[in-house]
Structure 1
Amino acid sequence: MDDDQDESLPSLNALRAFEAASRHLSFRRAAEELRVTEGAVGQHIRGLETNLGLKLFERRGRGIALTENGETYSVSVRRAFDLLIDATKALRPEPLKITISVTPTFAAKWLIPRLPDFTSANPDTDLRIVATDRLSHFQRDGIDLAVRYGRPPFGAGLDTDLLFEDIQVAVASPDILRGERRGKQIVSQHTLLHDTHNLWPQFLADLLRQQIPLTVEKNIRFSQTSLAIDAAAEGQGIALANLEFVARDIAAGRLVRIFELAHRTHAGFYLVSPRKPRQSEPVATLRKWLHVQASKARQAEDAHAARSLSRSSAPM
């Protein structure tokens, strides 16, 4: 490299000090941004002016302003720093960013408890979760994958596959059932906790067909299933919820199933995405992970049911 050409270039620290001071029009604020002293910034600027042989700043009252040369130079220096930033970013690949749209209850009761497994297995993927009861639009809202409740089809040009069925079970805190016999008859009057799906009438009809009476004292209605589940865990009544959303609480003893009856709505939770996704590989990875988690959940539920049946059939 030509030594004379190298010596003609100002130091990078001096250029950084000038660029910051030119933006803030303040040596003090430039020093705060660069985490150096105000005197160091002033020294860099004076050295740069000496190197260039011209003034870059001038005093105006209690402040400073760029000279005409300083104004022109600041534009070029700022552009050069932007090029350096862009070049550096190009060498550091951006993390994969996936956006999934789910209902608030699915997020709170199913997805969030399992997220550590996904983040540890996919450290280079940034997952954005949009939890809303509103139907998200894939293109307008930038959604890569959605979990939708109902029955297909959900629209043209979409790939759809079942994640898990909607199997409704009645659950409550074990505290409100002390001394009662579960399974065939609930002797006390109880509060029913409803959500917007309003599936209690069908469930009660199923109970009557099996000659299982349930005396209802009152009803409380919630806008989200997760709120009804939380209220049940707090001993405020009996909630009706998808088995997948309460399985962990049942296994932990926070909730118990009131009846063996399980009501199938013939709906389900489906994975839905455009047939031509913006990011096919990460979407496929997330879709596969969700299916694996659902399979593990079913296996855990089957094992828990088998243990419960074994305990209930054991001789006294």
Structure 2
Amino acid sequence: MSSRRYTIPSTSSLTAFESVARLRGFARAAEELNTSQSAVSRHIGNLETRLGVKLFDRAGKRVALTRAGELYFGAVTSALEEVQNAERSLLSEQNDVTIACTHEVSHLFVMPRYANLKRALGGKADIRIITSEYSLVPSILDTGVDLVFEYSDAQDRKNATIVTPELITPVGAPDLVAQLRSKLQDPAAGWGDVPLLALSKTNYGWAVWDDWFEARGIAVRGITVETFDNYVYLLEAAVNGQGLALGWRGFVDRYLADGALVQIEDRWIERRTKLWARLTPKGLENAAALRIMRQLQGDAPTMAQGN
């Protein structure tokens, strides 16, 4: 393929011409461009010599475009606007942050923190959230994703930070918990007929009711649970009094804060699995994504906060 070389005037000459034509004056153009009037005149003179036409009629302080100047002004303005728009588009794309996560993480974890994340960006970028089933999240990472939320029991991960440890505790609607609290004072009794809510979807390492019972030293058998394939729906069922849910710190905070759900005991059990935010190769080159990561890290609940 043959190379193409553009033989056009310098951008300094073109911007000087555009400014003089738009402002109808050399002095005003020099002020706008933060340069001297003689420099502006020199740029215009070089253009007129190069093009072999007169671009401006000068009568004292009055400056007007000639017919050739008007034609050239239209072309130069259009070209400069195209370059400016392309730059804005590229800067916008670089500053925006695209996050990939599950619907549960988006609804329960990211959105309650959305205002803080936007403030971390200084209002100069947008946040785009792509949701998917957890097993399908890896398949969407090549769509321009900067940051992805993942579960892992690793102690350290490259380009990632723990945004919340896995702290669990049973929660339920206030009326239901009030009815059950005295009954559940005896860890060895009463759990068999307690309505429990659980997830039916494929487990990728997060805790289930058996894990909580084991951590609390409660031996139970024959427990019946109502299952849901989405944690958001499960929590809504808990709010409606259908049963107790296993609450994750960082996901049920909003429900606990407004009293829609309450804990059956004042303790959280810590598990090995954690929710991580990981920067993709694209995100590592995106300053806005790095700011989002720092904000998430600063907002992460600790074990002390969980107790």
TM-score of the two chains, using structure 1 as the length reference: 0.61
Give 1 or 2: higher strand fraction.
Answer: 1
After superposition, the Cα gap between the structure-2 partners of 1:284 and 1:160, relative to the gap in structure 1 and judged at 3 Å, is same
Retained in 2: the 8 A contact 1:225–1:241? no
Aligned-partner residue type, residue 88 of structure 1: Q
Identity of aligned residues (%): 19
After superposition, the Cα gap between the structure-2 partners of 1:214 and 1:250, relative to the gap in structure 1 and judged at 3 Å, is farther
Q: Counterparts of 2:257 and 2:222 in 1: how far apart (Å)?
A: 27
Where does 1:132-281 land on structure 2 (aligned, <5 Å)? 132-133=132-133, 134-137=136-139, 140-152=142-154, 158-182=158-182, 184-185=185-186, 187=190, 189-195=193-199, 196=201, 197=203, 199-207=208-216, 209-210=217-218, 216=223, 218-260=224-266, 262-274=268-280, 277=283, 279-281=285-287
After superposition, the Cα gap between the structure-2 partners of 1:159 and 1:132, relative to the gap in structure 1 and judged at 3 Å, is same
Q: Counterparts of 1:154 and 1:105 in 2: how far apart (Å)?
A: 24
After superposition, the Cα gap between the structure-2 partners of 1:139 and 1:232, relative to the gap in structure 1 and judged at 3 Å, is closer
Superposed displacement of residue 276, structure 1: 7.1
Q: Counterparts of 1:82 and 1:193 in 2: how far apart (Å)?
A: 62
Q: Deviations over 1:85-130 (max 9, x none)?
A: 3133257573311111122212111210111122234200111112
Q: Counterparts of 1:120 and 1:142 in 2: how far apart (Å)?
A: 22
Q: Deviations over 1:203-254 (max 9, x none)?
A: 23344x246x6984x4221112222112111111111131221122112211
After superposition, the Cα gap between the structure-2 partners of 1:252 and 1:7, relative to the gap in structure 1 and judged at 3 Å, is same
Which residue in 1 is equivalent to 2:67? 8
After superposition, the Cα gap between the structure-2 partners of 1:264 and 1:2, relative to the gap in structure 1 and judged at 3 Å, is closer
Which residue in 2 is equivalent to 1:83? 79
Identify unmatched segments of 5+ residues in structure 2.
1-54, 59-63
Structure 2 counterpart SS, 1:178: helix
Relative contact order: is structure 1 or structure 2 higher (C-alpha 8 Å, sep ≥ 6)?
A: 2
Q: Counterparts of 1:127 and 1:227 in 2: how far apart (Å)?
A: 25
Aligned-partner residue type, residue 149 of structure 1: Y
Q: Counterparts of 1:139 and 1:239 in 2: how far apart (Å)?
A: 31
Retained in 1: the 8 A contact 2:148–2:280? no
Retained in 1: the 8 A contact 2:144–2:282? no
Superposed displacement of residue 279, structure 1: 2.3
Structure 2 counterpart SS, 1:266: strand
Where does 1:30-45 land on structure 2 (aligned, <5 Å)? none
Which residue in 2 is equivalent to 1:16? none
Q: Counterparts of 1:215 and 1:139 in 2: how far apart (Å)?
A: 42
Number of residues of Structure 1 aligned to a counterpart in Structure 2? 231
Structure 1 counterpart SS, 2:293: helix
Superposed displacement of residue 285, structure 1: 0.9
Q: Counterparts of 2:262 and 2:109 in 1: how far apart (Å)?
A: 18
Q: Counterparts of 2:303 and 2:236 in 1: how far apart (Å)?
A: 22
Aligned-partner residue type, residue 149 of structure 2: V
Aligned-partner residue type, residue 252 of structure 1: D
Which residue in 1 is equivalent to 2:131? 131
